[in-house]
Amino acid sequence: MSERTVIDGEGLILGRMASEVARRLLAGETIDIVNAEKIVVSGKRQMVVSKELEFLGLGGHEKGPVHYRQPHRIVRKAIRGMLPYRKPTGQKAFRRLRVHIGVPEDLEAVEKQTMPGIHSSTLSRRFVTVGEIAEAIGWKK
């Protein structure tokens, strides 16, 4: 098994980061993502939050779909959507993923990677962080 890779999520674009992480997970890497609440979603805040609130109205607690309000769970589910998670290879890859709010004590000393081509500084439009979305849909810190 490969060594653990730590990725700093601060300022990374959610969809692009998720597809890159999914590709690396399928290749056999073990990945930890820190600062999940600082990952960004492009679009106006009101539009992004209203889409999330509309999504929360779908389904129910007994049948699904399951709606997460915590930032790290939102990011995990975005990455899961990029994996063939109903097949054994996707399930094994998904088990190699850990997503954290902030930086845990055991990962503070570890060197963190970033993805320069996927950073929000390349966006020419507005964006909102996953933490802001989570708070708007009911996450209590």
pTM of the predicted protein model: 0.92
- Check whether the bond before 104 is cis (ω within 30° of 0): no
CA distances from 105 to 26, 73, 97, 102 (A): 27, 20, 18, 10
Question: Between β-strands 127-129 and 40-42, what pairing exists: parallel, antiparallel or unpaired?
Answer: antiparallel
Given a cut of 60, whether residue 92 has pLDDT beyond it is: yes
| Segment 95-109 mean pLDDT | 96
Q: How far apart are CA 107 and CA 83, in angstroms?
A: 25
Tell me if 36 sits within 8 A of 72, measured CB to CB.
Answer: yes
The 3-state secondary structure of 25-69, one letter per residue: HHCCCEEEEECHHHCEEECCHHHHHHHHHHHHCCCECCCECCCCC
Q: What pLDDT, on a 0 to 100 scale, did the predictor assign at position 2?
A: 60
What would the pLDDT profile of 8-28 be if each residue is shown by its tens digit?
999 999 999 999 999 999 999
pLDDT in tens, 108-138: 999 999 998 999 998 988 999 999 999 999 9
Taking the C-alpha atoms of residue 76 and residue 68, their distance in angstroms, rounded to an integer, is 10
4-136 maps to which CATH number? 3.90.1180.10
Place of tokens 């109205």: 57
Reading the block at residue 18, the tokens are: 């998720």
